[in-house]
């Protein structure tokens, strides 16, 4: 815990930076779904599997209420050996029951989050990793730092970095039309298809709808949760929907453009997006526990995830779920994503939200994009330049904030069952990642404000 003290100022700055564009993602222009009655609680929790559920989302709507608290299971810092390396099952550790563990426990009590994992790295050192709570409510299995979690839209930062590498290599032009690389039919029927540029895809100025928030997309998902959906099919859906924002100037956060960016990577390189992300980012950064679904999956199941709050309330009517898909814990009702087929969900995000990883890798990943030779200075400048609107800090795949004179790069992410924030403070060369296995957090209870609340505790730890 000694290195945590040096994180004081960087952590204290993360609060404002943690509200990246995807965490405040605009809703679709379609009217919100209306549920006629809330899902009824169940007393016997169904045995969960390790799959996720409906379409990928990038935002966490309002939260649920009650929850469990547990002890933490941090990585042993004495010899740097993780539980997975030693072959031993992680055991609860008394140290996180102090102020840090108490703060996490209070947050879990307040929000209903079953579990949470935290990773911190400075200067590229082996990350410190911590875990609290449970990975599976029904079985009581503890959350561990070796669990893979789904980091959602943090994936966009990686996809943007790969596209910027291709720009640097002269294979892609930022202001060239996407049709130059994907052909005229890349977004069939979309009125701006011929004019959308690569920059528009990365900067969310393409005018595409955010399909993850659209009622009709959930209706598309409902009968085929056990089937994968292709990025081409999602582009067809978004193109038919039509533009929801002014092309080239109006920021409208959407995952659609990042699926097109993935197709562009494949068209230009002749390789799958998973191959390119691994060769260009994962392997150079030494990320041994990071995967881009649905082309590749972690060798072990992910932690089980849950959905509460408004999105959990609406999910049942939209997807035809029943009380068999629910679980009650400390008087809070969750949709248990382990009881719902995962194929649709784990394919819908792809290069816009499909990465699954261990939390230590996520901390190394967010730092590595800016503090290694993954990107050169010009590429970082492009990525972090921000939208022309000075009120919008989102650049090309990252949000940038100036707080107390220091810069923070950050991106959030949410998919069914998981909520993540990843941030890098260049002044401290500090990378931080945090994931909870609950989607449905609200306002001050979201993961960004949680990091802010932990700052004074971490700073006071020797």
Residue 148 CA to residue 305 CA, distance in Å, equals 11
pLDDT exceeds cutoff 70 at 261: yes
What is residue 391's DSSP assignment? T
Tokens read off for 320: 């035809």
Residue 367 CA to residue 429 CA, distance in Å, equals 7
Tokens read off for 367: 């730092």
- Cβ contacts of residue 245 below 8 Å, gap of 6+? 205, 207, 251, 252
Residue 331 CA to residue 379 CA, distance in Å, equals 49
Tokens read off for 49: 């599997």
Query: If we measure between CA atoms, which residue out of 293, 296, 301 comes closest to residue 136?
Result: 301
Cβ distance 316 to 323 under 8 Å? no
C-alpha to C-alpha distances, 163 to 46, 199, 274, 328, 374, nearest whole angstrom: 43, 10, 13, 43, 12
Cβ distance 320 to 33 under 8 Å? no
β-pairing verdict for 290-292 and 332-336: unpaired
Residue 97 CA to residue 369 CA, distance in Å, equals 33
Stated pTM of the model: 0.81
Confidence class of residue 447 from pLDDT cuts 50, 70 and 90?
confident
The residue assigned the tokens 């997006």 is 273
Confidence class of residue 459 from pLDDT cuts 50, 70 and 90?
low
Tell whether omega for the bond before 304 is within 30 degrees of 0, i.e. cis.
no
**Range name among 25-29, 427-431, 437-441 with the lowest pLDDT average:** 25-29
Confidence class of residue 392 from pLDDT cuts 50, 70 and 90?
confident
Q: Kindly calculate the radius of gyration of the chain based on its CA atoms and give it in whole angstroms.
A: 21
Q: For the chain, what percent of residues have pLDDT higher than 70? A: 76
Give the per-residue pLDDT at 140: 95
Strands (E), 165-300: 290-292
Residue ranges covered by each domain of the chain: 2-149+301-315+351-365+399-460
β-pairing verdict for 128-136 and 115-122: antiparallel
The residue assigned the tokens 């020797």 is 462
Give the per-residue pLDDT at 401: 74
The residue assigned the tokens 């959308």 is 196
The residue assigned the tokens 């526990």 is 289
The 10s digit of each residue's pLDDT in 318-339 is 898 999 999 988 778 999 999 9
Tokens read off for 22: 């995807």
Q: For the chain, what percent of residues have pLDDT higher than 90? A: 62
- The rounded Cα 110 to chain-centroid distance in angstroms is 22
Report the mean per-residue pLDDT for the chain: 81
Tokens read off for 156: 């966009």
Give the per-residue pLDDT at 96: 55
Q: Helix 359-371 crosses helix 154-168 at what angle (to 10 degrees)? A: 30
Confidence class of residue 455 from pLDDT cuts 50, 70 and 90?
low
Tokens read off for 77: 């810092």
Mean pLDDT of 143-164: 98
- Cβ contacts of residue 204 below 8 Å, gap of 6+? 21, 251, 252, 253, 254, 257, 394
Confidence class of residue 363 from pLDDT cuts 50, 70 and 90?
very high
Residue 67 CA to residue 188 CA, distance in Å, equals 46
The three-state secondary structure class of 247 is coil
Residue 436 CA to residue 108 CA, distance in Å, equals 10
Widest CA span of the chain, in angstroms? Answer: 60
Residue 93 CA to residue 96 CA, distance in Å, equals 7
Mean pLDDT of 149-155: 98
The 10s digit of each residue's pLDDT in 415-425 is 999 999 999 98
Query: If we measure between CA atoms, which residue out of 33, 383, 395, 445 comes closest to residue 212?
Result: 33
Residue 55 CA to residue 415 CA, distance in Å, equals 8
β-pairing verdict for 306-307 and 406-415: unpaired
**Range name among 49-63, 183-197, 258-272, 325-339 with the lowest pLDDT average:** 49-63
SS (H, E, C) 194-217: CCCEHHHHHHCCCCCCCHHHCHHH
- Cβ contacts of residue 102 below 8 Å, gap of 6+? none
Query: If we measure between CA atoms, which residue out of 319, 451, 328, 370 comes closest to residue 160?
Result: 370
Mean pLDDT of 88-98: 47
């Amino acid at each position: 815990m000694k290195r945590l003290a040096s994180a004081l100022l960087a952590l204290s700055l993360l609060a404002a930076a943690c509200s990246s564009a995807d965490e405040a993602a605009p809703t679709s222009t379609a009217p919100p779904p209306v549920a006629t009655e809330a899902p009824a609680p169940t007393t016997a929790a169904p045995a969960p599997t390790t799959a996720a559920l409906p379409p990928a989302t990038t935002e966490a709507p309002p939260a649920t209420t009650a929850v469990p608290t547990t002890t933490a299971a941090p990585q042993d810092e004495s010899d740097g050996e993780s539980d997975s390396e030693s072959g031993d099952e992680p055991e609860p550790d008394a140290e996180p029951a102090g102020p840090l563990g108490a703060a996490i426990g209070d947050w879990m009590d307040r929000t209903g989050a079953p579990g949470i994992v935290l990773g911190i790295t400075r200067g590229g050192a082996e990350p410190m990793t911590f875990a609290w709570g449970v990975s599976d409510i029904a079985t009581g299995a503890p959350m561990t730092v070796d669990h893979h979690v789904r980091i959602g839209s943090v994936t966009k930062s990686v996809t943007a970095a790969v596209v910027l590498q291709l720009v640097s290599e002269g294979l892609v032009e930022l202001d060239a039309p996407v049709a130059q690389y994907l052909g005229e039919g890349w977004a069939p029927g979309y009125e701006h298809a011929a004019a959308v540029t690569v920059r528009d895809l990365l900067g969310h100025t393409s005018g595409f709808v955010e399909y993850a928030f659209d009622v009709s997309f959930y209706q598309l998902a409902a009968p085929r949760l056990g089937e994968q959906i292709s990025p081409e099919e999602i582009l067809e859906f978004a193109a038919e929907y039509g533009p929801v924002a002014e092309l080239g100037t109006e920021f409208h956060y959407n995952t659609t453009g990042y699926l097109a960016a993935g197709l562009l990577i494949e068209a230009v390189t002749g390789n799958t997006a998973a191959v390119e992300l691994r060769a260009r980012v994962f392997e150079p950064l030494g990320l041994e526990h990071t995967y881009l679904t649905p082309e590749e999956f972690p060798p072990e199941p992910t932690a089980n995830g849950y959905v509460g709050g408004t999105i959990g309330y609406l999910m049942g009517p939209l997807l035809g779920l029943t009380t068999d898909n629910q679980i009650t814990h400390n008087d809070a009702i969750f949709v248990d994503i382990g009881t719902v087929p995962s194929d649709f969900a784990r394919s819908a995000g792809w290069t816009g939200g499909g990465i699954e990883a261990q939390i230590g890798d996520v901390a190394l990943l967010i730092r590595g994009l800016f503090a290694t030779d993954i990107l050169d200075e010009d590429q970082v400048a492009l990525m972090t330049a921000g939208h022309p609107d000075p009120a919008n800090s989102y650049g090309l795949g990252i949000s940038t904030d100036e707080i107390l004179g220091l810069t923070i790069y950050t991106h959030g992410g949410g998919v069914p069952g998981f909520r993540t924030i990843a941030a890098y403070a260049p002044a401290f060369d500090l990378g931080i990642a945090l994931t909870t296995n609950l989607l449905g957090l609200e306002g001050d209870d979201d993961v960004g404000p949680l990091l802010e609340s932990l700052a004074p505790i971490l700073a006071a730890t020797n």
